[in-house]
Amino acid sequence: MTIDMFFTILTQPFVIRAVVVGVLVSLCAALLGVVLVLKKYSLIGHGLADVGFASIALALALGVTPMYISLPVVLIASFIIMAVSQKKGVSGDTAIGVAATTSLAIGIMITYLGNGFNADISDYMFGSINAVTTADLIMSIVLSAIVITVYVLFYNRIFIITCDESFAKASGINVSIYRFLISFLTALTIVMGMKMMGSLLISSLIIFPAVTARNFASSFKSLVISSAICSVICFLLGIVLTICFDLPTGAGIVIVNAVAMIGSSIYGKLVKKN
């Protein structure tokens, strides 16, 4: 691919829409990923993504716009997972695992009984920059504005709950409400990113940047900022590489994130040795 061809592709409306949506999703996922990784709830993204896949399969089978069904279904699922995980004797991983496998099975069954695995369902499973529409762009801007605004407004309490839950309870903070808040914001982010990244890959944007940044961040604030920067850079690098070499976008972005995580892990070990 020549440089002229590359810049011609970058100026295409569908690529511009994909880049804007991807940056917003990456930023939101990175902010929430810090909390989820530190609280050992990082797999909730995977569980909600599988719920999203089932809801999308149902929407396509019914001929309904997927967002209209996936958004409420994923939000409800996020609350159920969080409520069940807070019960004694039930761990968060168990609740997430049950929701993920059950939803995936339901999604596959609906797809099989419907039109089978067509182009539409494949786009939602594996992601596609061609599938991002103007409506998706507007919805992403609105949802990301909600996620970022709420995160900033409640940053101090989120920080306290993440770092010392016992102190947060002693300070009179209702920890359960903020757990549900994080779950709610995560659900919004998952729904935003499914079309771009695919339901099978979107959870990686929550996990990788936070783990990568943790190897060189010295405080919670620096961890949040580093995770956000790392996530956006990896997304942009991933989408450029996949366009240049005509590769699957979602998979390419995940691989770039994985390489960054491995690199930061090596860096962290070298620094500790010195």
Please tell me whether the overall predicted TM-score, pTM, comes out greater than 0.95 for this model: no
> Is the pLDDT assigned to residue 163 strictly greater than 80?
yes
CA atoms of 67 and 70, how far apart (whole Å): 5
Structural domains of the chain ordered from first start:
3-273 (1.10.3470.10)
- pLDDT tens digits along 231-247: 999 999 999 898 888 88
Secondary structure (DSSP) of 126-156: H--GGG--HHHHHHHHHHHHHHHHHHHHTHH
Lowest mean pLDDT among 53-67, 117-131, 147-161, 180-194: 117-131
Centroid of chain to Cα 100: 15
Residue 209 · residue 30 · CB < 8 Å: yes
80: its two tokens: 């159920």
Rounded CA-CA distance 38/251 in Å is 25
DSSP state of 41: -
DSSP label at residue 130: G
Rounded mean pLDDT of the chain? Answer: 86
**Contact yes or no for 222/153 (Cβ under 8 A):** no
pLDDT of res. 118: 67
Q: Could you tell me the pLDDT band of residue 119, with boundaries at 50, 70 and 90?
A: low
